[in-house]
Amino acid sequence: MVTALTLSVALGGLQVLLAATYGVNMPLFRPGNATGSQRGDCIGSRCFVCWRIPALAGPSNTGRLFAFAEARDVPGCDDHGVRGAVVLAVKTSDDRGRSWSPAREVARVDTIYPGPYGRATGNPSPLVFTTSFKNGSRPHIELIFSVNNIEAWSTGSTDDGLTFSPPLNRTLMMKPALPHHNWWASGPPGGVILPNGRAIFCANIEEPVGHPWSFAVWSD
């Protein structure tokens, strides 16, 4: 049985596994610092201070692995920066984790005002499907995430993670019927697809803040 705990342990051991298997000892996402003297992983010309909340997903039916994380461009690695300071990014691997692509931005939702718990596009919770058609099948990645730690959003990819669709607000569908300002976060880490095709992932909420509880969200 695959649980959130086993997924978390597997993700936490990813760096150790890579080091033991391939003789490398480096983080999958490289952090920088606020002064710029240490350059972390970059997306284009933008290099990030730190990377948080990683989630490993896959493989897809092509064998591709996906590593999602929050890319934070905020001194001290906070999540209360200006709009766009915290975005979601992905790296992919086509050789079972021996090497990884450069980071790419996959989701950014800017709001005029920050939520009471930060301003961030974060908490990635990916699911990897295989969608069947009459003339074959193709991978489908659905990425659930939170905005400002209060809203539930999602984006998807039907080309094996090369591009992602415009994000959609799923708050009314995925968040329990509590006051909208309650803290909400998807994951961690990602979700699973059951043999019957049901997609299921975990999320957590606090009502009020300081009193957390967890629940499951699923789709058939």
pLDDT in tens, 176-204: 877 666 888 998 788 888 888 899 999 98
Q: Residue 42's pLDDT band (boundaries 50, 70, 90)? A: confident
Q: Which two tokens stand for residue 12?
A: 């936490």
Residue 104 CA to residue 157 CA, distance in Å, equals 13
The DSSP code for 17 is H
- In this prediction the pTM is 0.82
Does the structure show a pLDDT above 50 at 17? no
Sequence-distant (6+) residues with CB within 8 A of 143 are 68, 88, 106, 107, 124, 125, 126, 127, 154, 155, 156, 157, 164
Backbone angles phi, psi at 40, to 5 degrees: -90, -170
Q: Read off the pLDDT of each residue in 53-78 and give the average, rounded to a whole number.
A: 90
pLDDT tens per residue, range 124-160: 999 998 766 566 677 889 999 999 998 999 999 999 9
Quick one: pLDDT at residue 3? 43
Confidence class for position 27, pLDDT limits 50, 70, 90: confident
Of residues 212 and 88, the one with the higher pLDDT is 88
| Unique residue bearing structure tokens 């300071």 | 85
Q: Mean pLDDT in the chain?
A: 81
- Residue 59 CA to residue 63 CA, distance in Å, equals 5
Closest by Cα among 14, 4, 128, 124 to 69: 124
Task: Fill in the amino acid letter for 20.
Answer: A
Say what percent of the chain tops pLDDT 70. 80
Cis peptide before 114 (omega within 30 of 0): no
DSSP annotation of 162? S
- Tell me the one-letter amino acid at 15: Q
Per the DSSP assignment, residues forming a β-bridge with 216 are 202
